Amino acid sequence: MDQIIIHVDMDAFFAAVEIRDNPALRGKPLIIGSLPHERGVVATCSYEARKYGVHSAMNIKEAYRRCPNGIYMHPNMDKYKAVSQQLHAIWNSYAAALEAVAFDEAYLDVTARAGDFEGARQIGQEIKRRIREELGLSCSVGVAYSKTAAKTASEEKKPNGYFEIETPEEFAALLANRDVRVLYTVGEMTAQKLHANGIHTVRDIREEPEKVVRLLGKHGQWLTRVAFGEDDRKVTPYNPQDAKSIGREVTFQKDVEDFSLLKDVLLLLSLCVDRRAKRVGLYGRGVTLKLTYADMRSITRSQLVFAADSPVSIFNRAAQMLQHVEQRPVRLIGVSIYNLSGEEGRQLSFHDILEEHAAREEQTLLSLLRQMQDRYGLDFAGHLEQIYKHDTLHKTVEYMRKHS
């Protein structure tokens, strides 16, 4: 036995937390995300809402069309993060390595702890019990010989499910007659391409691997392996140093034509990006500006810099790029840094050596925030810790939009 992997996936996580905290919501179609009159999508929804055809990532207007009597709520990200930390504490107590996929989903390598599938079964059931008793939530657990098989197993009996796949042969037999969409990494576009060429089921992939590789290249090679149950990937804990970029963006509830407002929003986004980067000891050597216009056309503009290592340096470069884009109504704005490096590996420069540089940057930032306070009547400098939070940032930006 090379490895035993458990995949844990919480059941309708955001909705489940809200129902736990407000039992009056139990049994009702609860949709977490934007409100029906707002722009946005469904983050998640209760299983009662799914009966109406509502699902995550669905446009909120379509969700309301399908389920007009549903209960719609904004997500409370701070609450969900806190519960996620509790989940990770439980998972980490059993795993030699843990690979978090999201707040509510992770792969656990329990090879050494379990010893065999009987031991893994006990661990899987204990995880379910602890999450139920300690957090008042339910999860679905898959136990298998590989990551792909473990994820497939956790999906097999949702919600509150448990399933095992011990061998590649079991995996192949289970999925043989199912649509290709059942395989990890097969999205809608890939499925359409396969279907158009006569590849409908997992069995079809196994019987015509050359055709699949010809159609999809390296992705096709991966799919042919997975169709036979082959997957030797290891559980790899997330390392912030591996991130390719760090960014933040906001979608406006109404299109914004005032580019001076967009510039002010860029400063708040730059503060959020810088804070997140410093938390993990990273800085960037490039800045990217992202805009989505009212017609849904998106553009990005990127520039390399000496060091995007402060909110002012990130903001200055993003604002400079904003001056040179087409000025028409904007739906979404975002900023990110890339070419990331660790602070410990950074080369000393005159900017680092001269302490007055940091003092000047701080004074520049305070001056910018005071100017914004004069425009909007908000104490930005005194409430940055709140503005960093997902919900407060969006509320602040919407207030700025309405009062610009």
Residue 232 lies in a domain: no
DSSP states of 200-260: -BHHHHHH-HHHHHHHHTHHHHHHHHHHTT---PPP----GGG-SEEEEEEEEEEEE--HH
Paired tokens of 230: 């082959």
pLDDT at 357 over 70: no
Do 115 and 203 have their domain in common?
A: no
20 to 14, 29, 138: CA distances (angstroms): 10, 14, 10
- The CATH number of residue 200's host domain is 1.10.150.20
| Ramachandran quadrant class, 198 (left: phi over 0; alpha: psi -120 to 50; beta: rest) | left
Q: pLDDT band at residue 61, thresholds of 50, 70 and 90?
A: very high
Cα 13 to chain centroid distance, Å, stands at 13
The pLDDT of residue 89: 96
Q: Are residues 153 and 189 in the same domain?
A: no
CA torsion sign for 89, 94, 97, 98 is negative
Q: Note whether 77 and 59 are same-domain residues.
A: yes
Report how far residue 386's alpha carbon sits from residue 388's, in angstroms, rounded to the nearest whole number. Answer: 5
Q: Residue 179 gets which letter from DSSP?
A: B
Q: In this structure, is residue 176 part of a structural domain?
A: yes
Q: What number of residues does the chain have?
A: 404
Percent of the chain with pLDDT over 70: 95
User: pTM of the entire structure?
Assistant: 0.78
Helix (H) or strand (E) holding 399: helix 390-402
Tokens linked to 167? 């061998």
Q: For 96-161, what is the HEC assignment?
A: CEEEEEECCEEEEECHHHHCCHHHHHHHHHHHHHHHHHHHCCCEEEEEECCHHHHHHHHHHCCCCC
Q: Pull the structure tokens for residue 349.
A: 């420069």
pLDDT at residue 353 greater than cutoff 50 = no
Containing structural domain, residue 199: 172-227
Q: How many domains does the chain have?
A: 3
Determine the 3-state secondary structure of 63 from DSSP: helix
15-28 pLDDT, tens digit each: 999 999 999 999 99
- Kindly tell me if the per-residue pLDDT of 194 is higher than 80: yes
pLDDT tens column, 321-337: 999 999 999 999 999 99
Contacts 24+ apart (CB under 8 A), 177-186: 177/201, 177/202, 177/203, 178/202, 180/204, 180/205, 180/223, 182/152, 183/148, 183/223, 183/226, 183/227, 184/148, 184/151, 184/152, 184/226, 185/219, 185/222, 185/223, 186/223
Q: Is 59 helix (H, G, I), strand (E, B) or coil?
A: strand
The verdict on 176 and 210 lying in the same domain is: yes
Cross-strand partners of 165: 144
Q: What is the CATH number of the domain that holds 52?
A: 3.30.70.270
Residue 109: HSE in the Cβ half-sphere, 13 Å Cα cutoff: 14
> Residue 349: which pLDDT band, with cuts at 50, 70 and 90?
very low
In a domain, 235, yes or no: no
- Predicted confidence (pLDDT) at residue 354 exceeds the cutoff of 50: no
Q: Are residues 211 and 355 in the same domain?
A: no
Does one domain contain both 123 and 158?
yes
CA distance 319 to 300: 13
Instruction: For residues 129 and 176, state if they share a domain.
Output: no
124-140 tens-digit pLDDT: 999 999 999 999 999 99
Look up the CATH number of the domain holding residue 274: 3.30.1490.100
Residue 380 lies in a domain: yes
Domain co-membership, 314 together with 396? yes
pLDDT tens-digit map of 158-185 = 999 999 999 999 999 999 999 999 998 8
Helix (H) or strand (E) holding 75: none
- Does one domain contain both 179 and 147? no
Do 264 and 379 lie in one domain? The reply is yes
For 343-381, letters b (16+ CB in 10 Å) and e give eeeeeeeeeeeeeeeeeebeebbeebbeebeeebebebe
Which tokens hold the place of 325? Answer: 């884009």
What token pair was written down for 342? 């660790």
Asked if 115 and 148 count as a contact pair (C-beta separation under 8 A), the reply is no
User: Which tokens belong to 12?
Assistant: 């309708």
**Can you tell me the mean pLDDT for 118-128?**
97
For 76-97, write each residue's pLDDT tens digit. Answer: 988 999 999 999 999 999 999 9
Residues 182 and 278 in one domain: no
Q: Are 16 and 138 in contact (CB under 8 A)?
A: yes
Supply the pLDDT for residue 241: 66
In a domain, 186, yes or no: yes
Is the residue at 234 inside a domain? no
Rounded to an integer, the average pLDDT of 273-294 is 91
Residues 89 and 60 in one domain: yes
In a domain, 355, yes or no: yes
What 3-state class would DSSP assign to 394?
A: helix
Give the pLDDT mean for 91-110: 94
Q: Which residues are catalytic?
A: 105
Neighbouring C-alpha atoms within 13 Å toward the C-beta of 160: 8
User: Is 299 a member of any domain?
Assistant: yes
Mean pLDDT, all residues of the chain: 92
pLDDT band at 346, cuts 50/70/90? very low
